[in-house]
Structure 1
């Protein structure tokens, strides 16, 4: 709370004796009242007392509000209770931690570990870049790690140095320093420019930390309003070059059958049903509604996603997080049609690779002589299916296509699926419902022509001439 009800009295001299020497000594006390409550501050010399009293009188004369709890003008009160960037960033992490998903926690830590080296008081005695990042990302900005105990011995000196050498929050009212921090967020670890989406994500986290400082009244206004800084342009649409046509998709799935047959239906779910990888990993056998007739359509009734989060970022030390569907309530479901080719893949998969006790269709499998059997039902690691995908690309694509971005990631199969649906004339509203996106995002990102459709489009146009 703040007030303008302020009275400032004259300096009072108190004569006494020095406790050590016994010689006469005077102290000088400045007294003032704020909202009827008396405050005082003692000084060793009259000059210091007069200087402090002068600051109070200038603030009163200029109409500056006084902080009732401390009795000081608001700028002086903030200066007195300010904290360093290190202290504030740690407090921000701890505030966010209980309600953030493991992957979001990692994103916050990554952002703060990137920007903190730009907010140092000095560089003398600083740890090397790799050690500093390991200390920040692995311990300082991980609430669970800090609560578990002191930092590892190899990081202890780095943590101590960083804690003592970051700027105070008030320094972030300097536009040049804020611009320096934003420029740091725009670079990768190797010094090259980060992608526009990465910069946007990190800027949002940094902005949130600064907004938290404003909320706590450590600074007057949001520092990002002080600078004119242009972030890299974000690409709204999927690169047309990554999207496969039907023939290319079928060839890729056939190649998967050769290198990792237990993953053919896994990738089929992405291409024919537009599922995200984490949604495929969460899929259970009872969520697959089989077609009523041969060569008919079935349904997938999705209930969640299985996401790899890494050690140390979850509350229960698990490396896998089970969460609800993206952009939906935790208990929401989403139904997606199963085309006949996908139904055939799923039926074959279920017959060949029975589901384990947890009923998940796609789990880590092993067996002698190439025979795959269900294990404990652990989800397939990201590096396992991405490795299989790279091998399939080598088999199915030409050398030129392999060098291109065509289907470089498994996720590109989802792009191909949604583009195919849209190009087939399915309404954007329906496609958005099946895909788990908003119509706006769908039309901005996924409405792309698939590879091989341009010639057909030109022929249709030519027919009108």
Structure 2
């Protein structure tokens, strides 16, 4: 909607920031608008343009607050077009998991803000059109089934202009959609936070493009429960004795020659003795390892191969190829490894060698070991190594729990937290909040220490 009812006010100074900024302020149909500038000269220049537009009799848009001479067609940019621009902007540098997360959130954002156009597709079809055809750059030229093509035509026609998000009611609609599953039920708090972060960054990008004067999501607060601290369940953590028994049981899993389990014994050993993440162990190469005949060795980690899905990796492989988590490109993490793991890795290399690219752990065909494969072997090893009550419990239920056990063992052995954090690839804060679990059988020892401190003996 356009109007000629415009008031342009004096420049004001905002001193609430570290460096004062200057606000050009005006009102359109009684609605106040403002734009921040680093210097007074820039603010005065923008104010002069507003006054010039008023003198020329230009109509002002009630949504953006701008005259046509300053909007430069920005009001026409739809939310779908903004989403595509944002994906193009982020795609090359984003990891496969970030691409997955980004398109998941945008497949919620775009359908939430549409015009009342007839023929809206089913939610699952619309989501598929966005996630598999419109948003990922490599998939936009794929041949589209008629159902998908119809959904694409609909969303291109129905998607609201980005400028509509200056209305608070629109932002509330967006935030509500972020917290819902496809069937309308509430999504998990973690899913909501992840989607909201993507939506916020998209609107920040709109501000950079000068499509929006400010990020409207900053005005809408929605409590979704306290951020959960994902502490390790101490019941999942095995003792050193249990870890050894599990690693031994792995070798009995497989075909008649037991090769399936033996191929993975050193892989699980890396998770326990070096506290590697599964993706880090899968990316481990022989050149990353220092394996002396006696004593301690070392692993120099540089790459990880997390599971992401073929749709989101540049290579089309299921496993992405990335640098280490929360580290810059090319950074290396040095992990000293104890003699039991050194021997395990030497035995693995002697029996199985490496893949063509030097990776230690691969399938019989030389591919990256699938998560389903090493999880299946682990499930069988638990059945062989643990008593029935433990098998039905959460004790070492996942291979990842070996990493928790390894870190907990280091901490309970008295290794300083900063050193443990450096070896495990975490900050000290995260380490103490999440990974400081007690190993199995440690509670009694701790109780005895407390009794001795009280001057009593059990």
**TM class, shorter-length:** 0.7 to 0.9
**2:156 equivalent in structure 1:** 163
**1:270 equivalent in structure 2:** 271
**2:442 equivalent in structure 1:** 453
Q: Which runs of 5+ in 1 are unaligned?
A: 1-50, 366-374
Q: The residue matched to 1:228 in structure 2 has which SS?
A: coil
CA distance in 2, matches of 1:137, 1:356: 34
Deviation at 1:229, TM superposition (A): 0.5
Quick check: 1:329 aligned with 2:277?
A: no
**1:431 equivalent in structure 2:** 420
Say if 1:245 and 1:416, in contact at 8 Å, map to a contact too: yes
Quick check: 1:134 aligned with 2:128?
A: yes
CA distance in 2, matches of 1:195, 1:244: 29
Deviation at 1:461, TM superposition (A): 0.8
CA distance in 2, matches of 1:188, 1:458: 46
TM-score (norm 1): 0.78
Q: Which runs of 5+ in 2 are unaligned?
A: 11-24, 27-46, 254-260
Which of the two has greater strand per residue?
A: 1
Query: Residues 92 and 286 from structure 1, CA distance in 2 versus in 1: closer, same or farther, beyond 3 angstroms?
Result: closer
CA distance in 2, matches of 1:400, 1:125: 56
Say if 2:133 and 2:142, in contact at 8 Å, map to a contact too: no
Quick check: 1:409 aligned with 2:398?
A: yes
Say if 2:355 and 2:361, in contact at 8 Å, map to a contact too: no
**1:76 equivalent in structure 2:** 66
Most deviating of 155-164 and 306-315: 306-315
**2:192 equivalent in structure 1:** 199
Q: The residue matched to 1:362 in structure 2 has which SS?
A: coil
Say if 1:350 and 1:361, in contact at 8 Å, map to a contact too: yes
CA distance in 2, matches of 1:176, 1:391: 54
CA distance in 1, matches of 2:227, 2:82: 30
170, 173, 179: which is aligned to 2:166? 173
Most deviating of 154-163 and 242-251: 242-251
386, 397, 409: which is aligned to 1:420? 409
**1:3 equivalent in structure 2:** none
Most deviating of 339-348 and 398-407: 398-407
Q: Report the structure number with the largest CA radius of gyration.
A: 1
Deviation at 1:138, TM superposition (A): 0.9
CA distance in 2, matches of 1:429, 1:414: 17
CA distance in 1, matches of 2:393, 2:159: 44
TM-score (norm 2): 0.79
CA distance in 1, matches of 2:166, 2:439: 49
Query: Residues 242 and 171 from structure 1, CA distance in 2 versus in 1: closer, same or farther, beyond 3 angstroms?
Result: farther
Q: The residue matched to 1:207 in structure 2 has which SS?
A: helix
Query: Residues 310 and 192 from structure 1, CA distance in 2 versus in 1: closer, same or farther, beyond 3 angstroms?
Result: same
For residues 274-289 of structure 1, the aligned pairs below 5 Å read 274-289=275-290
For residues 205-284 of structure 1, the aligned pairs below 5 Å read 205-236=198-229, 237-259=231-253, 260-284=261-285
Deviation at 1:103, TM superposition (A): 2.2
CA distance in 2, matches of 1:130, 1:183: 18
CA distance in 2, matches of 1:61, 1:280: 62
Say if 1:238 and 1:446, in contact at 8 Å, map to a contact too: yes
**2:97 equivalent in structure 1:** 103
**2:374 equivalent in structure 1:** 385
Deviation at 1:347, TM superposition (A): 2.2
CA distance in 1, matches of 2:356, 2:85: 42
Say if 1:271 and 1:417, in contact at 8 Å, map to a contact too: yes
Q: The residue matched to 1:363 in structure 2 has which SS?
A: coil
Deviation at 1:399, TM superposition (A): 4.6
Q: Deviations over 1:408-463 (max 9, x none)?
A: 32222111111211111111111111112222222222122233322221121112
Quick check: 1:117 aligned with 2:118?
A: no
CA distance in 1, matches of 2:395, 2:174: 36
Q: Deviations over 1:85-116 (max 9, x none)?
A: 21211111111112212221111001111333
**1:88 equivalent in structure 2:** 82
Q: How many residues align?
A: 400
Say if 1:179 and 1:229, in contact at 8 Å, map to a contact too: no
**2:18 equivalent in structure 1:** none
Say if 2:123 and 2:182, in contact at 8 Å, map to a contact too: no
Say if 2:302 and 2:331, in contact at 8 Å, map to a contact too: yes
Deviation at 1:189, TM superposition (A): 4.6
Q: The residue matched to 1:357 in structure 2 has which SS?
A: coil
**1:306 equivalent in structure 2:** 305
